[in-house]
Chain A
Amino acid sequence: MTGLLVAGAHVVDPRAGLDGPHDVLVRDGEVAQLGAPGSLDAPSGVETVEGEGRHLLPAFVDPHVHLRVPGQEHKEDFATGTAAAAAGGYCAVVAMPNTDPPIDDASVLSAVREAAAREGRVRVEFLAAITRGLGGRELTEMAELRGSGALGFTDDGMPVVSAGVLRRALQYQRLCGGVIALHEEDPALSADGVIHEGEVSALLGMAGIPSISESTMIARDAALAGYEEARIHVQHLSAIESVEAVAAAKAAGVRITAEASPHHLLLTDEILRTDELHTRFKMNPPLRAERDRQALIAGLRDGTIDCVATDHAPHANHEKEVPFEEAPMGTTGLETAFAALHTDLVVPGVLDLALVVERMTAGAALFDLPTPRIAPGEPANLALVDLDAEWQAGEAGWESKAENSCFAGRTLRGRVVLTVAGGAIAHRRMEVAA
């Protein structure tokens, strides 16, 4: 792509102080120039995209996705996972290491980094495992993994149960750097639970996952991080007690950040009572109660929760078409994140568009990636969205290989029509006029 002129879109980039109509000219992979609407002309050979009636945002960064490579390519691969990311307006994603084999050694990491660079439509970065085989006992060769390009570390999907092991990892971080991201769950409390422990689990007779299985581990790990002056990131917050634990740790000066996913921000376990017992609503941590959801929204608003992360977790249909208790945990999220948040939080006036944009890009800095900005000289990472477009999230028809979207069947408002990632067009909907 030699260049692109997005003409007259309403540009929203809170970090750049932009909230109004502009022409934006992209050349040689960078934002070259901003101007008043109608003031810029496309140089010859540069395509003009009509932006009027649309919003131009910095493209999003997702610090938590599962791309399933290596070993589970029947669920997702780099081509489909990054196509899904691009369709959702993302210019970069951070993939988790709970693959088969797990990304717990430099040779595996190097192989997936090469494959992702070759096959991905958007930038893919990786966290490596904290412990070998995600087993929770022996540390991985964290220094070598960092040297091979790991942004940081996580045993996501599994908690680091032993405080002693986590403490060693936090100490070792002084040598190797890289944020340590934590899936917080005390298995002695979550046990064989499959949904949130509360009224709905009592009604359905399903084993519950109590909120305290998450919040007590956050409190423990925040204490460890504070003691070791380490830097931790709490993944997929789901409960009010967890928001409180993160807020308390932040107030105490711990270097702790946190994320929340669109499904926890928008859905509750009530949907299991009303909308059949569909396995697309089975995820870990589970959908919780309305007061939890409200606490997550408030946390996102006041900054206790730093960013939105989808925890995009694709599964094949045959894996999800089983009884609820047997189904694997997870929902896809990349293609619906912005639209769902816009529909349920921005349109009703719960959150400002600018705040949602800020939180959907803030994951970059937390993992030491450059934050997309719409400013001259910055790499072109842009999402052009039509906020009025209504579309039906389908059971099928996704860019992702997987169809386990918790928003399937919902009418969403707001659609990404064009994504520019690293200066190249990574996604464009057919109807976008050239």
Chain B
Amino acid sequence: MRHLLSIADLEREDIERILDRAASFAEVSGREIKKVPALRGRTVVNLFYEASTRTSSSFELAEKRLSADVVNVKSSGSSVEKGESLKDTVQTLSAYDPAAIVIRSPHVGAAELVARWTSASVINAGDGKHEHPTQALLDVYTLRDRLGSLDGRHVWIVGDVLHSRVARSNVLAFQRMGARVTVCGPPTLIPRGIEALGCAVAHTLDRLPEADVVYALRMQHERMREAFVPSLREYATVYQIDRARLRPEQVLMHPGPVNRGVELAADVIDSPQATISAQVEAGVVVRMAVLYELTTGSAGGAPGGPAPDAVAALPEPEPAEAAA
């Protein structure tokens, strides 16, 4: 594997290999010194064209724990407004000979374009409303941890599916791992033709009890101005996940940050059913695994590639900050 652009490019065995490696990195994360030298002396560029706290900090930490030299390039506004095209920016950054470029962009297909213009491995950290593959991988990792296997499980993804790259990547990833998926939300926020992803569609929570996993999406305030829903109050009345709607054995997930009292009621956010902070933790080790997978060359899909325990067998982490 050279790039991670879309979950659609991954087979189930690819996902399992990445997640197994993430599990061995989790073991490293349990140590006092959480660093491994896998990317020592190599450079990773984080190119973020959208504000992001969670994803950018998670990637940065993952890169540092792999001992990479990290360059953060943040830019709000489109490349066009900035006057420099994405292509020029990528060609400039590629001159640093990075092992990987992590890109977050408000535009669909931006990561694919970057991959065309650089010899570095490219990781899609969110391209418009298209995909957010590392989020899907960390969600599968979290669920695997909680449930053992996703085979035969039923996942409900509830909320603003239309504007959600998380929804698109997760539908693909959950299905690839053997789960069934239903997407649920107001008819104005379910894209026409979404069934093509293989999921079912619902517009009420009436059948929510049939879910093993309830995955709530963030409800953006600006959707009200755009008249997709009449009010947050009405949205919460129909779609909020609360104690009354959630069965005790259901797993509750959310990509964060949560709008308390909108898509989730306070009483479920901090319940043991919720995996929200486990998802954040998983983010670091899964991103370490993705970086490792893409940058350690032949590791790729080759059957003989390093097994997860190859990571565990790495020398004890060094105290020195490689990326001084």
Give the B-binding residues of A (Cβ under 8 A): 197-208, 210, 276-277, 318, 321-326
Q: Can you report 22 residue pairs joining A to B where beta carbons are below 8 Å apart?
A: A197-B193, A200-B193, A201-B192, A201-B193, A203-B197, A204-B130, A205-B128, A205-B129, A205-B131, A205-B164, A206-B108, A208-B192, A210-B192, A322-B79, A322-B86, A322-B87, A323-B79, A323-B86, A323-B105, A325-B107, A325-B108, A325-B128
The answer for the CA separation of A202 and B171 in the assembled complex, in Å, is 12
The answer for the CA separation of A412 and B304 in the assembled complex, in Å, is 44
A326 near B107: Cβ-Cβ < 8 Å: yes
Taking the nearest CB of chain B, how far is it from the CB of A42, in angstroms? 53
The segment out of B14-22, B109-117, B292-300 that lies at the interface is B109-117
Taking the nearest CB of chain B, how far is it from the CB of A199, in angstroms? 4
Cβ of B168 < 8 Å from any Cβ of A?
yes
B168 near A203: Cβ-Cβ < 8 Å: yes
Give the nearest-CB partner of B172 in chain A: A203
B196 near A203: Cβ-Cβ < 8 Å: yes
The answer for the CA separation of A198 and B129 in the assembled complex, in Å, is 15
A208 near B108: Cβ-Cβ < 8 Å: no
B85 near A321: Cβ-Cβ < 8 Å: yes
Contact residues in B for A324 (Cβ distance below 8 Å): 107-109
A205 near B165: Cβ-Cβ < 8 Å: yes
The answer for the CA separation of A325 and B131 in the assembled complex, in Å, is 15
Taking the nearest CB of chain A, how far is it from the CB of B163, in angstroms? 8
Task: Give the residues from 156 to 170 in chain B that come closer than 8 angstroms, CB to CB, to chain A.
Answer: 164-165, 168
The answer for the CA separation of A228 and B119 in the assembled complex, in Å, is 61
Contact residues in A for B33 (Cβ distance below 8 Å): none
The contact string, 1 if C-beta is below 8 Å from chain A, for chain B 121-133, is 0000000111100
Taking the nearest CB of chain B, how far is it from the CB of A35, in angstroms? 56
Give the nearest-CB partner of A195 in chain B: B108
Known contacts A204-B108, A205-B129; is-contact A197 B192 (Cβ 8 Å): yes
Known contacts A318-B85, A326-B78; is-contact A205 B130 (Cβ 8 Å): yes
Contact residues in A for B192 (Cβ distance below 8 Å): 197-198, 201-202, 208, 210
Give the contacting residue for A205; candidates B79, B108, B110, B113; CB below 8 A: B108
Contact residues in B for A200 (Cβ distance below 8 Å): 193, 196
Can you name 18 extra interface pairs (CB under 8 A) apart from A201-B193, A206-B128, A322-B80? A197-B192, A200-B193, A205-B130, A207-B129, A208-B192, A210-B192, A322-B79, A322-B86, A323-B79, A323-B86, A323-B107, A323-B109, A324-B107, A324-B109, A325-B108, A325-B128, A326-B78, A326-B80
Cβ of B194 < 8 Å from any Cβ of A?
yes
Give the nearest-CB partner of B111 in chain A: A323
Give the nearest-CB partner of A277 in chain B: B109
Give the nearest-CB partner of B171 in chain A: A203
Cβ of B191 < 8 Å from any Cβ of A?
yes
The answer for the CA separation of A201 and B191 in the assembled complex, in Å, is 8
Contact residues in A for B86 (Cβ distance below 8 Å): 322-323
The answer for the CA separation of A202 and B109 in the assembled complex, in Å, is 14
Task: Give the residues from 72 to 125 in chain B that come closer than 8 angstroms, CB to CB, to chain A.
Answer: 78-80, 85-87, 105-110, 112-113
A206 near B129: Cβ-Cβ < 8 Å: yes
The answer for the CA separation of A312 and B109 in the assembled complex, in Å, is 25
Taking the nearest CB of chain A, how far is it from the CB of B10, in angstroms? 16
Max chain A C-beta neighbours (<10 A), residue from B130, B131, B197:
B130
Give the nearest-CB partner of B161 in chain A: A202
A202 near B194: Cβ-Cβ < 8 Å: yes
Give the nearest-CB partner of B78 in chain A: A326
The answer for the CA separation of A320 and B164 in the assembled complex, in Å, is 26
The answer for the CA separation of A203 and B129 in the assembled complex, in Å, is 10
The answer for the CA separation of A421 and B79 in the assembled complex, in Å, is 44
Contact residues in B for A206 (Cβ distance below 8 Å): 108, 128-130
Taking the nearest CB of chain B, how far is it from the CB of A16, in angstroms? 47
Taking the nearest CB of chain B, how far is it from the CB of A202, in angstroms? 4
Contact residues in B for A210 (Cβ distance below 8 Å): 192
B191 near A208: Cβ-Cβ < 8 Å: yes
A321 near B196: Cβ-Cβ < 8 Å: no
The contact string, 1 if C-beta is below 8 Å from chain A, for chain B 190-215, is 01111011000000000000000000
Contact residues in B for A197 (Cβ distance below 8 Å): 192-193
B193 near A202: Cβ-Cβ < 8 Å: yes
Contact residues in B for A321 (Cβ distance below 8 Å): 85, 87
The answer for the CA separation of A324 and B86 in the assembled complex, in Å, is 12
The answer for the CA separation of A161 and B191 in the assembled complex, in Å, is 26
Contact residues in B for A207 (Cβ distance below 8 Å): 129
Give the nearest-CB partner of B117 in chain A: A321
Contact residues in A for B194 (Cβ distance below 8 Å): 202
Give the nearest-CB partner of A272 in chain B: B109
Give the nearest-CB partner of B190 in chain A: A202
Known contacts A277-B108, A322-B80, A325-B108; is-contact A205 B168 (Cβ 8 Å): yes
B196 near A202: Cβ-Cβ < 8 Å: yes
Contact residues in A for B109 (Cβ distance below 8 Å): 204, 277, 323-324
Max chain B C-beta neighbours (<10 A), residue from A200, A203, A276, A321:
A203
Contact residues in A for B112 (Cβ distance below 8 Å): 276-277
Contact residues in A for B196 (Cβ distance below 8 Å): 199-200, 202-203
8 nearest interchain CB pairs?
A323-B107, A205-B129, A199-B193, A199-B196, A202-B193, A277-B109, A205-B130, A202-B191
The answer for the CA separation of A276 and B105 in the assembled complex, in Å, is 18
Known contacts A202-B196, A205-B165; is-contact A323 B110 (Cβ 8 Å): yes
Give the contacting residue for B197; candidates A202, A276, A322, A326; CB below 8 A: A202
The answer for the CA separation of A323 and B90 in the assembled complex, in Å, is 13
Contact residues in A for B87 (Cβ distance below 8 Å): 318, 321-322
Contact residues in B for A208 (Cβ distance below 8 Å): 191-192
Give the nearest-CB partner of A321 in chain B: B87
The answer for the CA separation of A325 and B79 in the assembled complex, in Å, is 12
The answer for the CA separation of A91 and B300 in the assembled complex, in Å, is 56
Contact residues in A for B191 (Cβ distance below 8 Å): 201-202, 205, 208
The answer for the CA separation of A324 and B85 in the assembled complex, in Å, is 13
Contact residues in A for B131 (Cβ distance below 8 Å): 205
The answer for the CA separation of A322 and B108 in the assembled complex, in Å, is 11
Taking the nearest CB of chain B, how far is it from the CB of A368, in angstroms? 41
Contact residues in B for A198 (Cβ distance below 8 Å): 192-193
Max chain A C-beta neighbours (<10 A), residue from B85, B109, B168:
B109
Give the nearest-CB partner of B110 in chain A: A323
Task: Give the residues from 257 to 316 in chain B that come closer than 8 angstroms, CB to CB, to chain A.
Answer: none
The answer for the CA separation of A322 and B81 in the assembled complex, in Å, is 13
The answer for the CA separation of A277 and B130 in the assembled complex, in Å, is 12
